[in-house]
Amino acid sequence: MPTTQPTTQAAGPKKKKIKSQKVVNGVPTEIEIEVDDVAGPTWGANDSHRLLNTRLPRADGPAKTTGTAIYTYDVRLPGMQFGRFVTSPHARANIKSIDTSAAEKIPGVTAVMPFGKAVRYEGEPICAVAATTREAAEDGIRAVKVEYEVLPFVVVAEDALKDGAPQIFPNDPRAKQSQGNADEVNAAFADCDAIVDVEYRTRIMHHACLETHGVVVDYKGGDSATVYASTQGTFTIPGDAAKALKLNQSNVTAVVQNMGGGFGSKFGLGITGMWACNLSKKLGVPVKMMLTRRDEFLTAGNGPGSIQKLKAGASKDGILVACSAVMYGLAGVGRANIAGQPYQYKAMKSFREQSPIRTNEDASVAMRAPGFPQASFAMESLMDELADKIGMDPVEFRKKNVTNDSHTRQLTKGAEVIGWNQRQMKPGALSVGGGEGPIKRGFGCGIGAWGGGGGPKCVVNLIINRDGTVVAESGSQDLGTGTRTYIKAIVAEELGLEMADVQEKIGNSKLGDANASGGSTTSASLAPAVKDAAYNARLALAKLIAPLLGANEDDVKFEGRKVTGNGKSLDWKQAAMAVPAAGLSVQGKWQPGLSGNGAHGASFAEVEVDTETGHVKVVKMCHVQDGGLILNRLATESQINGGMIQSIGMALYEQRVMDGRLGVMLNPGFGDYKLPGCLEIGELIPVIDDGDTRQAVIGIAEPANIPGVGAIANAVFNACGVRVRDLPITPDKILNGLYPSKA
């Protein structure tokens, strides 16, 4: 009998495990994934590029500066109606009844849909109204009559910690997370020459997106719909919208042409999108539902605040011996995690414990490196207080205790740029203009770090047409950080073209898949996929062109808008004639070797403090930031500047002010919620750390705003001797520190 031979299967590519990032609602988590271990495209040395790592004008600059760029707020469709919310005026209540009869009689009002039964914070939506005009919708929400049973509430963190405080969630155990050995840390304090035992506080802040949360849902019945969304994730929309409209997800198209800011607050359909879907389905017409500015402040999420009780000790030679931290994240009705202490420093012994404080306020959600500026401010302040106690220069003290060599390099560079040698060890010793004048000048510094890695989500389709046009397609959104620009630059450089020769199509869920923009992961996820697509296109075109040039495929070169080989050349349009009539289409996916993880930065601040008025002026800031291969130096510098500006806001101005007795926000608008303007922003010096030679793309947007807050607080202390541990640093706190009451 014949014997059966075992079937031999071809061995697939070898696998390897690498670190990647998964982002959920703007919060990144490091994960390990398995990928093929195969050769592919590489970036090459960071200083070897023609377009990348140079200063590139933004591809979308003309459209945005001329006002022709279309945002969700600009979308106006035939027959479109407008949605608005009735929101709760109370911090906590049960809804006894909702009378919509008067609203339904108002001319122009077409639908009134109550949905609330209980409210947990002021501004929580409880009823949706649609009308043919914005004005009619406004009249409609005013006419809805709601009867409430007002319940006990708490909106102040200190009150929430008291025994008997109202519970936001029944039987809510404040889950504690801890790390380290508390007994070992307490014992280590005996070996310290200096100890600081203090409490630092940061306030709940608002994202302040210029374009409020909102969508336009275009559903007229049938089996398909289009949703125009102001979102950080094109592909976070179709699934949620399909459920609300009861459609197949493949029949829902999400469009994100441009969006006016998210900073971590815009993921998924959200309550605006859900009720726009419900209204559109009921009426059979497009419905636009954009939050008003007041509603945006009250119901679009907040950045987390914190209370951090830190105790740390150091030896007289500058070694951080012990650090203990009890940390609370101010979560509202959501959650709030603060980065673990001692943050970017190594302590010989450390312990930390963290838990949330829940209040009757809108939920804290991801905001621009969520929880990291808060941790950095506290730790950088603590490091300065320890340095002052042992009489050591703060920069040198940090260098002795950092966990990454990049920070040592960046501290040296930043000190040089800011003029650290002018700093006086004794607070208040440097007066502007000399003598003993009231304007005191001081210097401070801080460090920060973030992940910024990419992951295997993005797909890019690249088409070369016979007329020479090149189109790169991806569903990825561009938050305004320059995605369009580097797509064009990567493709143009790989194919030897100019950026104007490449068209980009993005922001549509019918295009290639893409990750949401959270955790500074967009560039590190999308750029490798673009590079892979361009690389594959170059190889495919070289294969078609090589016979025409009488050259080997490997010898075909693409440069100067020409294709050359074997001493012959074709201009680009001639070469493109070699592709099929339907065009040459290739696909690119994320390649792990093209992205990296770990962005580090150091901030320095120079401030002036008027000791007569308590006014603080940021004279100059410098931030040194690494990021591997810089795709666009001009855009990177802009991101660094933005980070420094946000640091100024958090350090000196921004806070959500609550009335503890009434449970309401006192500053829900740009008139009262103070953001830094032109007069409050001093000289900004962005420095790209080219000492980082990693040939990989790393996201840098969020890291740039982490350490500046601590740098400003430390500069204020150096200027006038007042250590403000409760942000923001307002004039009253300076004056109270300079002239404490004698009562």
Q: Residues of the chain with pLDDT > 70: what percent? A: 94
Kindly list the strands in the beta sheet with 616-625, ordered across the sheet, starting from the edge strand earlier in the chain.
Answer: 439-450, 599-610, 616-625, 683-688
- The yes-or-no verdict on residue 180 having pLDDT over 70 is yes
CATH level 2 (architecture), domain 61-70+454-594:
2-Layer Sandwich (3.30)
310 phi-psi bin (left φ>0, alpha ψ -120 to 50, beta other): beta
Per-residue pLDDT tens for 580-629?
Answer: 999 999 999 999 999 999 999 999 999 999 999 999 999 999 999 999 99
Span 76-162: which CATH code? 3.90.1170.50
Token digits of residue 736: 């109270």
CA distance 26 to 223: 31
305-452+596-738 is a CATH 3.30.365.10 domain: yes
SS3 percent helix, strand, coil of the chain, rounded to 5, is 30, 30, 45
pLDDT band, residue 12 (cuts 50/70/90): low
Give the pLDDT mean for 318-332. 97
Neighbours of 335 (CB within 10 A): 16
- The yes-or-no verdict on residue 13 having pLDDT over 90 is no
Which run of H or of E encompasses 706?
Answer: none
Per-residue pLDDT tens for 432-484?
Answer: 988 889 999 999 999 999 999 999 999 999 999 999 999 999 999 999 999 99
Amino acid found at 277: C
Give the residue extent of every domain in the chain.
Answer: 61-70+454-594, 76-162, 213-290, 305-452+596-738
| pLDDT value for 194 | 98
Residue entry with tokens 């909102």:
214
Give the pLDDT mean for 536-554. 97
Per-residue pLDDT tens for 589-598?
Answer: 999 999 999 9
CA distance 25 to 366: 7
DSSP string computed for 336-364: ---PPTTTTB--SEEEEEEEEEE-SSPPB
Q: Residues of the chain with pLDDT > 90: what percent? A: 91
Per-residue pLDDT tens for 340-387?
Answer: 999 999 999 999 999 999 999 999 999 999 999 999 999 999 999 999
Fold adopted by 213-290? Aldehyde Oxidoreductase; domain 4 (3.30.365)
User: Per mean pLDDT, which range of 14-28, 185-199, 310-324 is the poorest?
Assistant: 14-28
Token digits of residue 395: 């920069």
Helix H, strand E, coil C: the string for 81-150 is EEEEEEECCCCCEEEEEEECHHHHCCCCEEEEEECCCEECCCCCEEEEEEECCHHHHHHHHHHCEEEEEE
- The yes-or-no verdict on residue 2 having pLDDT over 60 is no
Residue 504 Cα distances to 365, 485, 559, angstroms: 32, 9, 20
| pLDDT value for 1 | 44
Give the pLDDT mean for 534-548. 98
CA distance 465 to 463: 6
- Alpha helix positions (H), 161-247: 182-188, 238-245
Token digits of residue 414: 């930043």
Per-residue pLDDT tens for 109-151?
Answer: 999 999 989 999 999 999 999 999 999 999 999 999 999 999 9
For the chain, the farthest-separated pair of C-alpha atoms sits apart, in whole angstroms, at 109
| Strands 109-114 vs 125-131: parallel, antiparallel or unpaired | antiparallel
User: Can you give the pTM of this predicted structure?
Assistant: 0.94
| pLDDT value for 27 | 65
pLDDT band, residue 170 (cuts 50/70/90): confident
Give the pLDDT mean for 300-316. 97
Per-residue pLDDT tens for 272-307?
Answer: 999 999 999 999 999 999 999 999 999 999 999 999
| pLDDT value for 171 | 72
| pLDDT value for 601 | 98
Amino acid found at 417: V
Residue 41 and residue 50 in contact, taking contact as beta carbons nearer than 8 Å: no
- The yes-or-no verdict on residue 575 having pLDDT over 50 is yes
- The yes-or-no verdict on residue 394 having pLDDT over 60 is yes
Residue 620 Cα distances to 43, 359, 419, 617, angstroms: 35, 37, 10, 9
Per-residue pLDDT tens for 48-99?
Answer: 999 999 999 999 999 999 999 999 999 999 999 999 999 999 999 999 999 9
Per-residue pLDDT tens for 635-649?
Answer: 999 999 999 999 999
CA distance 425 to 446: 16
CA distance 361 to 47: 49
Neighbours of 180 (CB within 10 A): 18
- Fold match between domain 76-162 and domain 305-452+596-738: no
Write down the mean pLDDT value for the chain.
95
| pLDDT value for 38 | 58
